Structure 1
Amino acid sequence: MISPPVSTELQFVVVHGYRRAYRKVGSGPTLLLIHGMACDSTTWDRVIGPLSEHFTVIAPDLLGHGESDKPDGDYSIGGYANGMRDLLTVLGVDKVTIVGHSFGGGVAMQFAYQFPERTERVVLVSSGGLGREVTPLIRALTLPGAPLVMAVATARAWRPFVAAGLRGLSATGMSATRDLGEVARIYESFAEPRSRAAVRRLTSHVLDWRGQYVTMTDRTYLAQLMPVMVVWGRDDRVIPASHAVNAEHHSLTDVRLLDDAGHFPHRDHPERFVAMVTEFVAENPPATYHRGKWRAMLRRGDQAVLTTVSESSSPAVV
Structure 2
Amino acid sequence: MHGHQRAFVKVGSGPVLLLLHGLGCDHTTWEPVIDTLAEHFTVIAPDLLGHGQSAKPRADYSVGGYANGMRDLLTVLGIDKVTVVGHSFGGGVAMQFAYQFPERTERLMLVASGGLGPEVTPVIRAITLPGFHQVMGALTLPGVRHAGIAGMRALSATPLRATRDLDEVADIYDSFKDPAARAAIRHVVRAVVDVKGQIVTMADRAYLTQAMPMCVVWGRDDQVIPVKHAGNAAALAPDARVEVIPHCGHFPHKDDPERFARIMVEFIGDNQPAVYSRARWRTLLKNGHMSPVRTARSTRVRTAPTTSVTAAAGA
**Structure 2 alignment gaps of length 5 or more:** 305-315
Distance 1:59 1:317 in 2: 27
Residue in 2 that maps onto 1:282: 269
Name the structure where helix makes up a greater proportion of residues: 2
Query: One-letter code of the match for 1:35?
Result: H
Residue in 2 that maps onto 1:185: 171
Query: One-letter code of the match for 2:92?
Result: G
1:196 and 2:182 are equivalent in the alignment? yes
Distance 1:169 1:305 in 2: 49
Residue in 1 that maps onto 2:200: 214
Deviation per CA, 1:91-123, whole angstroms, max 9, x where unpaired? 111100011000000000000000000000011
SS in 1 for 2:160: coil
**Structure 1 alignment gaps of length 5 or more:** 1-14
Q: CA deviation at 1:157?
A: 2.1
Aligned Cα RMSD in Å?
1.3
SS in 1 for 2:51: coil
Map 1:117-196 onto structure 2 (within 5 A). 117-196=103-182
1:23 and 2:6 are equivalent in the alignment? no
Deviation per CA, 1:216-256, whole angstroms, max 9, x where unpaired? 11101110100000000011000000001011111143111
Residue in 2 that maps onto 1:61: 47
Residue in 1 that maps onto 2:257: 270
1:261 and 2:261 are equivalent in the alignment? no
What is the identity percentage for the equivalent residue pairs of Structure 1 and Structure 2?
A: 61
Query: One-letter code of the match for 1:238?
Result: V
Distance 1:140 1:225 in 2: 37
Query: One-letter code of the match for 1:75?
Result: Y
Aligned positions, number: 300
**Cα pair 2:210 2:290 within 8 Å, conserved:** no
Q: Would the alpha carbon gap of residues 219 and 28 (structure 1) be closer, same or farther in structure 2, given more than 3 Å must change?
A: same
1:36 aligns with one of 7, 22, 26: 22
TM-score (norm 2): 0.93
Q: CA deviation at 1:125?
A: 0.1
Distance 2:158 2:191 in 1: 35
Residue in 2 that maps onto 1:296: 283
Distance 1:201 1:251 in 2: 30
TM-score (norm 1): 0.92
Query: One-letter code of the match for 1:161?
Result: A
SS in 1 for 2:6: strand
Distance 1:236 1:174 in 2: 12
Distance 1:132 1:314 in 2: 24
Consecutive aligned runs of 4 or more in structure 1 exceeding 6 Å deviation: none
SS in 2 for 1:247: helix
Distance 1:285 1:303 in 2: 20
Q: Would the alpha carbon gap of residues 305 and 169 (structure 1) be closer, same or farther in structure 2, given more than 3 Å must change?
A: farther
**Cα pair 1:30 1:58 within 8 Å, conserved:** yes
Distance 2:122 2:137 in 1: 18
**Cα pair 1:20 1:67 within 8 Å, conserved:** yes
Residue in 1 that maps onto 2:85: 99
Q: CA deviation at 1:146?
A: 1.2
Query: One-letter code of the match for 2:103?
Result: E
Q: CA deviation at 1:158?
A: 1.6
Deviates more, 1:146-155 or 1:123-132: 146-155
